[in-house]
Chain A
């Protein structure tokens, strides 16, 4: 029987790094291990880490989705325009925004899987396109005055100190872990990532599979946009700008190959924890945001170099 929880060499390495980061942080600042700070640590970039979970599927499938940041912006702006300007009831607006996310992901998926264009180009153009529509909706205004319950969902704890965003992250992680590691859908995702031709000959409807994954990506990005609107309480046209690169950084650090076909959700989860606790720890030590970004960049570089160096030292080739 297969063990339920397996750790590859890369995940073990990440676990060690995570333990070191946590130990150093706890030693350097007494505030770090308090529950309030631990919730805050997730809460400050909750939108990014939720989208990173689905981005794992996209990249394992040997595609990329650069449009997630713009989709977050589009969904947040559409929500603001519908609720803040047109006075539509918020639940209806939320549902419509999620539909926009599904539709946006469907457009990406159809152009990638049916028309057969590289996903880099398709999502690059929808990255401009969706951002453009978001700007058309709000022009250069900033819109707030959402209902109180909506803002409370983004800011206050729903179950104890856990916010809706954090709860959805945990729930989504568990669901996607089962789907990726235990279900047929996940196995097909890996196969298509290794070789789409092989998957086609094996009778997998690869186009349908890819469209579904892009739709999931759009849906979750739209949901993250709503979480952002609820957490921050005001929306501008540039919500989520540049988030896609942070998200892709976390996924790649988690050991997912950019060429598709390999990587695990456990690794991505560990990488998310490392990036967040590193940033949070540095913030507690009054390190500026620019240096924080630099350190995360170096970490990503190291994540590419370490496995290659290790392989060269032990005389093996990189798998």
Chain B
């Protein structure tokens, strides 16, 4: 009954932390692998670390995914804005160069 319980979340967390965009279209297998190692490393250290109880595992994992996904979204938005600004800056120069 319990086999594989909660794995769907862990695998999504691994992929997203590894830099795979949640909206599709970008990411790599190596990144997802590093993400998976990172997720398990964090979970394992929470078990071993006496300062923080192991009950924090789930909470930390949940908010970690949220942070990674929103960092991705915000970064993409910033990059897009940067690109648009650069294109706007480049456009007048191109006009002057044509005649």
A126-B62 in contact given A135-B55, A139-B55 (Cβ < 8 Å)? yes
Taking Cβ atoms with an 8 Å cutoff, the residues of A that contact B are: 111, 115-118, 121-122, 124-133, 135-136, 139-140
Across-interface contacts of B16 in A (CB, < 8 A) = 121
**Cβ–Cβ contact A128 & B9, under 8 A:** yes
Of all chain B residues, the one with the shortest Cβ separation from A126 is B62
- Chain A residues, Cβ within 8 Å of B66: 111, 122, 125-126, 129
Find the B residue at minimum CB distance from A129: B62
Q: A131-B58, A136-B53 are in contact. Are A117 and B63 (CB under 8 A)?
A: no
With a 10 A CB-CB cut-off, give which of A115, A121, A128, A129 has the most chain B CB atoms: A128
Evaluate contact between B58 and A132: CB separation under 8 angstroms. Answer: yes
- State whether the Cβ of B14 lies closer than 8 Å to any Cβ in chain A: no
A117 to B73, Cβ gap below 8 A? yes
B65 within 8 A of A: yes
Smallest beta-carbon distance A276→chain B, Å: 25
Q: Which of B13, B61, B70 contacts A132 (CB 8 A)?
A: B61
On chain B, the number of residues with a Cβ less than 8 Å from chain A's Cβ atoms is 24
Contact of A117 with B61 in the complex, beta carbons under 8 Å: no
Q: Do residues B61 and A128 form an inter-chain contact, with CB atoms below 8 A?
A: yes
Please give, as numbers and ranges, the residues of chain B lying within 8 Å of A135 by CB-CB distance.
55, 58-59
* Cα-based distance from A116 to B74 in the complex (angstroms): 9
Contacts of A118 in B (CB 8 A): 22-23
CB distance from A133 to the nearest CB of B (A): 5
What would 20 A/B residue contacts be, using CB atoms closer than 8 Å?
A: A111-B66, A115-B70, A115-B74, A116-B77, A117-B73, A118-B22, A121-B12, A121-B69, A124-B9, A124-B65, A125-B62, A125-B63, A125-B66, A125-B69, A128-B6, A128-B58, A131-B58, A131-B59, A139-B53, A140-B55
Chain B 12-52 per-residue mask, 1 if CB under 8 angstroms from chain A, else 0: 11001000001100000000000000000000000000000
Across-interface contacts of A117 in B (CB, < 8 A): 22, 69-70, 73
